[in-house]
Amino acid sequence: MTVLLSHLGEFAWGIAFTVGLVVLGWIGAMILGTVLAMMRVSPIRTVRVVAAAYILVFRNVPIPVQMVLFVFGLPLLGIVFPLFPSAAIVLVMYHAAFVCETLRSGLNAVAVGELEASRSLGFGPFGTMRHLVLPQAFAAVVQPMGNVLILLVKNTSVAAVVGVAELTFTADKIAIEEVQAFAVLGGAAVAYVVICLVLKRFVASLERRVAFSK
Amino acid sequence: MKFMKRSKIFASLAVAAVFALGVNGSAVGAEHAGDSAAVKAYPPGTAMAKIQKRGKLIVGVKVDFPLFGLRNPVTGKLEGMDIQLAKGIAKDLTGSADNIQFVEVNSGNREVFLQQHKVDIVIATYPPNPKREKAVDFAGPYLMSPIGTMVNKDNTTIKKVSDLNGKNICVTKGSGSETYVPLNAPKAKLVVFSTMTQCMEALAQRRVDGVTTTQSILLGQMSQNPGKFKLVPTELLNTAGKKASDNDSIGLPKGEKALHDYLDSYLKKIFANGEWKKMYDSTLGTVMPGDVAPPPILY
């Protein structure tokens, strides 16, 4: 316990980096995932195929592999990103695939009759998407989307693989320095649980709100 | 990398298990033959007697440090100074250098492996520091090496310690250099990776300007990639204001006095009879300039 207290500052920075990755990763993944989901249900075949190919690659390659390929592979092509943005980009690309597939199940839940009604009322395809389909789809998938969010929190630890000083990396570093793996990593575990609990509360309140709107 | 590491540990455990079965088989043979081989007997209850009864020595080593402990990708066999030293101890205790089981360790789990007696000793580029000395005991050292910085061959901006200021410098997590670099060059930007391999990769890709660690480790890495890098002898000072060096020692479980004394006496023996020199010359001596005398026993 004293080990944790003497490294409180470092620990706080680790948590800050983890939260930063979660925030950036989640905003990016929601935007990219929504675009991908719309592409998946597009009437144009090429667009559907492109989105399906993206999902095939990014959902099926383990995230540590993607991380290492992005950080140590891309420089071979002459592209070098700093480490923190690299980690954030990989997190966005990986979780966008999951956001997309989660949201798609919501899109499929919207009845065809509603689409027909919207078109006959004069909404174009994008207007229909924006005002009718997406709001209903998002409301239907709040809970499974919360699972993706918690997945993201835990997957930020993979950034440790490429030297980003987030919570897992920091804990590991302190554990090696202090030769006390159990106490330090135990502290990190508690911190992850707290972050997830806070997010779970947020998701639950969102769920109650959409329950009223339905 | 960490995940790869973990899978590597499992793979090597599986290999080690198979290996152990094989060794057990041969250990039976060795025992029969061992009657004639001159092996000193130790009082029952000591770690040495336990190892002799088991018929093999279990050693924690690294497998990704060229010239220290490296799995040869062609033959699959382990090579390096640490490996040779481990085999020497196995031979001294059991009569044959083959009565040995290697377990892969990394910088983060060496203490735990010793504390839980998963290994008898650890020979894995393992210098003592005050916190480690609280968790385990050390014998040796068997090697002392000053600290240096490796840069790309065409680098002209890093020539001395103060040149590290403002540069991106790669160090490995938990290494002495992680402490020494900020102490000597406060404005150096540290990039911390968990393995030396990643630091090398980052240097080759110019993500970092230099890699700082003990010179023997750097020379080992350079031998794997000839012609790409060069070594700058940036002599860092430690917290006491003395020239920092890593004293690679043998780690053993805390409180095993008999084993500690045995290891020190074994080191003294091979320092004196030239066996240490043979081990050194065939590994680190191939890249280290000049003649090196064995280090003094400090622990």
**ipTM at complex level:** 0.70
Q: How would residue A194 be classed by pLDDT, with cut points 50, 70 and 90?
A: very high
Instruction: Provide Rg for chain A, Cα atoms.
Output: 20
Q: How would residue B170 be classed by pLDDT, with cut points 50, 70 and 90?
A: very high
Residue A36 has pLDDT above 60, yes or no: yes
Whether A68 and B132 lie within 8 Å, measured CB to CB: no
| Pick from A68, A80, A177: CB nearest B205 | A80
Spatial distance between the Cα atoms of B149 and B232, rounded to a whole number of angstroms: 5
Alpha carbons within 13 angstroms on the beta-carbon side of residue A168 total: 18
Q: pLDDT tens, A77-90?
A: 888 888 999 999 99
B4 to chain A: which residues are within 8 Å by CB? 64
Structure tokens at A174: 């302190």
Question: Which of helix, strand or coil describes residue A213?
Answer: helix
Q: pLDDT tens, A3-19?
A: 778 888 889 999 999 99
- The pLDDT value recorded for residue A125 is 85
Cβ distance B195 to B65 under 8 Å? no
- The pLDDT value recorded for residue B214 is 86
- The pLDDT value recorded for residue A214 is 57
Q: pLDDT tens, A93-141?
A: 999 999 999 999 999 888 889 988 998 999 988 889 888 899 999 999 9
Cβ distance B135 to B115 under 8 Å? yes
Which residue did the predictor score with more confidence, A191 or A75? Answer: A191
Q: Is B77 exposed, middle or buried (0-12, 13-18, 19+ CB in 10 A)?
A: exposed
- The pLDDT value recorded for residue B5 is 52
- The pLDDT value recorded for residue A13 is 93
Whether B205 and A64 lie within 8 Å, measured CB to CB: no
- The overall average pLDDT reported for chain B is 82
Q: How many residues are present in chain A?
A: 214
Whether A75 and B205 lie within 8 Å, measured CB to CB: yes
Interface of A with B in 95-154 (CB under 8 A): none
DSSP states along B183-244: HH-TT-EEEEESSHHHHHHHHHTTSSSEEEEEHHHHHHHHHHSTTTEEEE----B-TTSSBP
Cβ distance B125 to B66 under 8 Å? no
Q: pLDDT tens, A147-159?
A: 999 999 999 999 9
B201 to chain A: which residues are within 8 Å by CB? 72
Phi and psi at residue A170, in whole multiples of 5°? -60, -45
**Mean pLDDT for the stretch of residues B24-35:** 40
Whole-number Cα distances in Å, A57 to A49, A66, B171: 12, 10, 33
- The pLDDT value recorded for residue B1 is 45
Residue B179 has pLDDT above 60, yes or no: yes
> pTM for this structure?
0.75
